Copies of this chain bind each other. A is one copy, B any other.
Amino acid sequence: MSLPRIAIDAMGGDEGVRTMIDGAAMARRRHDRFKFLLVGDEERIKNALADHPGMSGASEILHCEDVVEGDEKPSKALRRAKTTSMGLAVDAVKRGEAGAAVSAGNTGALMAMSKLALRTMPGLDRPALAALLPTLGDNDVIMLDLGANRECDARNLVQFAIMGAAYSRIVTGRERPRTRLLNIGTEETKGTEDIQNAAEILRGATGLDMEFEGYVEADKINRGECDVVVCDGFSGNIALKAIEGTARFVTDLLRRAFTSSIRSKVGFLVSRPATELLKHHLDPNNHNGAVFLGLNGVVVKSHGSADATGVANAVEVAARLLEDDILNRIRKDLGEVGSEGFAAK
């Protein structure tokens, strides 16, 4: 089966057209089946393509001049869904001209445009934003929702668990990903009523392709002991940013410590391969590509400040989701809990 094209919003993000095109080209060097629809200013895209002769046969350009601004209100951007590079990239998925869209632009606008164009999957109340985070284990952990839904009820959380587990099966290869709800303690009585009700539904829904293992506290997210962490969008956003900020904080302290004396500078040079390993493991570019799960189409958000390596990762995330048919996997499990889980409540 040939892989559907991936639409790239070439104009989104802080790093410009060249980074988006370099990233797509980098992904294509690793997977020569990849084909692209590059959406944005034709001249600038062509200039960037000049460095990548291999891309010419694998990509088509869809010219447009309008761009969604990074700080633009989603409601305002939404009115220009048919003229902006972001809107047209998403629209290409809707019209079947691409299988997935990748954008590094305004997250809120991308979510709003994607929801409007692709609609939420039948049987699902709300889509969610999911990302991969590094762990001490062999696989990344998936956390969702990360901010698409400020408040969530038990039913939303159960649906997020199903979508996260479907995604995790692709990432980890595990048949039954270990799934937990983010909470402020591990005892059954901890947390909000919605979290407790979600836990009860998930414990009861034995037909789902996951091991539901109760609650996880935020200090255990990256121990490698679970594959999917489910939370409302507010808590998830707080947890994600606290993790990102602390990783940066510790590496900043480390840099400061290593430059504090001649001796420590020497030590740093000697142990450079070790600290490079650490840097590689923590580099957000190596975990780039958050996914809007639950829409009738695949949309991947690349971080606004991702470099070409980061963009290439986001493109590969989109390709894996297409290849493994994430949409049908989610549809199947939603049907499962529809008959068994919610009905029992």
Question: What is A's interface to B at a CB cutoff of 8 Å?
Answer: 136, 147, 150-151, 182, 184, 191-192, 217-223, 233-235, 237-254, 257-258, 260-261, 263-264, 266-275, 277-278, 281-282
Contact between B235 and A238, CB atoms less than 8 A apart:
yes
Q: Give the interface SS of chain A, mostly helix, strand, loop or mixed.
A: helix
Q: Is the CB of B257 within 8 A of A242?
A: no
In the bound complex, do residue B242 and residue A218 qualify as a contact, i.e. CB atoms below 8 Å apart? yes
Are B136 and A253 within 8 A (Cβ)? yes
Closest to A182 in B: B238
Residue from A221, A233, A250, A267 with most neighbouring chain B CB atoms (10 Å): A250
**Do A246 and B238 touch (CB < 8 A)?**
no
Question: Is A274's CB under 8 angstroms from B261's CB?
Answer: yes
Cα A246 to Cα B246 with chains together (Å)? 6
A219-B244, A257-B277, A271-B271 are known contacts. Are A151 and B192 too (CB-CB below 8 A)?
yes
* Cα(A260)–Cα(B275), bound, Å: 11
Can you spell out 14 A-B residue pairs with CB atoms less than 8 angstroms apart? A184-B241, A192-B234, A218-B237, A223-B249, A250-B278, A254-B274, A260-B277, A263-B270, A263-B271, A263-B274, A264-B270, A264-B271, A264-B274, A271-B271
Does the CB pair B263–A241 fall under 8 Å? no
Asked whether, in the complex, the Cβ of A222 is within 8 Å of the Cβ of B246, the reply is yes
Contact indicator B235/A219 (Cβ below 8 Å): no
Report the separation of the CA atoms of residues A169 and B258 in the bound assembly, to the nearest whole angstrom: 32
